[in-house]
Amino acid sequence: MNPKRAVVILEDDPPIRSLLERWLGEVGYRVVDAAAGQIAPALVIANVPDPQAAQAVVRTLQAYAAPILLLSARFHSGLGRSPAAARRLGVKKVLPKPFSRKDLLAAVREAVAP
């Protein structure tokens, strides 16, 4: 498997996780198990139920040494376009829920861009 196309998804809601897997798979990404540890993913996507606790979550995700895209229904809609918010949280990109396929794929492209 091409590690440049591997993505770890940390999402507790099965329908949302399934949707993310399908959308990413349609454009050539493969979702890998977070516990696998054999491959360095190109991206980590994680749901953050409470943005106040996001920094603690981010600290644990940094072990992947990959860009991080945070999702949350608690982020306000304008936050996804704010690079300052992502920098403040120590991640590459944030994406408020709900989002469209187009929004997700744009956020993924931005997050994995050099």
pTM over 0.75: yes
Strand order in the sheet with 43-47: 30-32, 6-10, 43-47, 68-72, 93-96
CATH number of 3-112: 3.40.50.720, 3.40.50.2300, 3.30.70.3340, 3.30.70.2740? 3.40.50.2300
What is the full per-residue pLDDT of the chain (114 aa) written as tens digits?
455 789 999 998 999 999 999 999 999 999 887 665 567 889 999 998 877 778 888 888 888 889 999 998 877 665 555 677 788 888 999 898 889 999 999 999 999 987
Q: Where are the domains of the chain?
A: 3-112
Residues 16, 38 contacting (CB under 8 angstroms): no
